[in-house]
Amino acid sequence: MIKTLRPMLLALCAAAVTAYAADPAPQATTATNPLGGKSAAAKPAPGQPRLIAWEELVPKDWDPMKEFKGMDLSKLEDGDPRANDLLMKMQEVSNNAPTNPEMNGVEIKLPGFIVPLEENKGEVTEFLLVPYFGACIHTPPPPANQIVHVRPRQGAKFRAMDTVWITGKLQTLRNDSMMGVSGYHMTAESVTKYTGGAK
């Protein structure tokens, strides 16, 4: 498999695994796995945002690997025009990943990693929230349905790849940025440091 295809395939495979995982065994909560593999609570306490897991942003019937099944990538070499075509096709699938319409307008709380887009006086005023460390910076962006474009109501004193909680009303609204295409948007009521629990 050529080197340039590997990161894109990993991002698409991660989305596929997330979308189709059936009750995975609980894992330890870590900075790279904020919810520890556990499903979020379905019903929030009265007046509280709904704590969600990233897989809830992916439509249950979406299969990002559908168009690539049966391909033998081991036969592709660097510089092969077919490899470049495949890479473009993978990027298109990722950028056009469908959102979950049931999440539109829902007050949520979600953990993730910050990819800054705009800063002012040492505070992040616009960023992407992504589900794993390094996304959009050290690796290709995840599918659009795994990226939330966030504008905090107040600037947040965080840096790239800091782990945070965002709270606010989720919108199914696409946005193209130089760091990736997001399928969701939020004007965040709060952006707080991730502490390992849903507090």
DSSP line for 34-73? TTTTPPPPSSPPTTSPEE--GGGGS-TT--TTGGGTT--G
Given this model, what pLDDT does residue 65 score? Answer: 84
Identify the CATH number of the domain in which residue 110 sits. 2.40.50.870
Residue spans of beta strands (DSSP E) within 18-157: 50-51, 107-120, 123-130, 148-152
pLDDT number for residue 31: 45
Among residues 124, 123, 142, which one has the least CA distance to residue 132? 142
Q: Which residues of the chain have pLDDT under 70?
A: 1-44, 197-199
Question: What are the φ and ψ backbone dihedral angles of 63, each rounded to 5 degrees?
Answer: -120, 100
* CA-atom Rg of the chain in angstroms: 17
User: What is the tally of helices (H) and strands (E) in the chain?
Assistant: 2, 9
Count of domains for the chain: 1
Token pair for 152: 């905090």
The parent domain of residue 33 ranges over 1-199
Check residue 152 and give its pLDDT.
97
Res 2: pLDDT: 46
**pLDDT computed for residue 198 by the predictor:** 56
- pLDDT tens digit sequence for 64-114: 888 878 777 777 777 778 778 888 888 899 999 999 999 999 999 999 999
Q: Are 140 and 148 in contact (CB under 8 A)?
A: no
pLDDT value at position 108?
Answer: 97
Helix (H, G, I), strand (E, B) or coil at 100: coil
